Amino acid sequence: MNLVGVIALMSSIHYFYAKNLWVLNGQAPTALRYIDWLLTFPLTILTFFVMLKSVTDIKRGMFWRLLVGTLVWVIAQLLGA
Number of domains in the chain: 1
The radius of gyration of the chain's CA atoms, rounded to the nearest angstrom, is 15
Lowest mean pLDDT among 8-12, 25-29, 42-46: 25-29
Domain around 75: 2-80
| 8 secondary structure, DSSP code | H
**SS3 readout for 10-69:** HHHHHHHHHHHHHHHHCCCCHHHHHHHHHHHHHHHHHHHHHHHHHHCCCCHHHHHHHHHH
**Predicted local confidence at residue 1, as pLDDT:** 64
Q: Which of 36, 45, 35, 34 is nearest to 4 (CA)?
A: 45
List, for residues 15-36, the tens digit of each pLDDT value: 888 888 888 888 878 888 888 8
Which residues touch 80 (CB under 8 Å, ≥6 apart)?
none
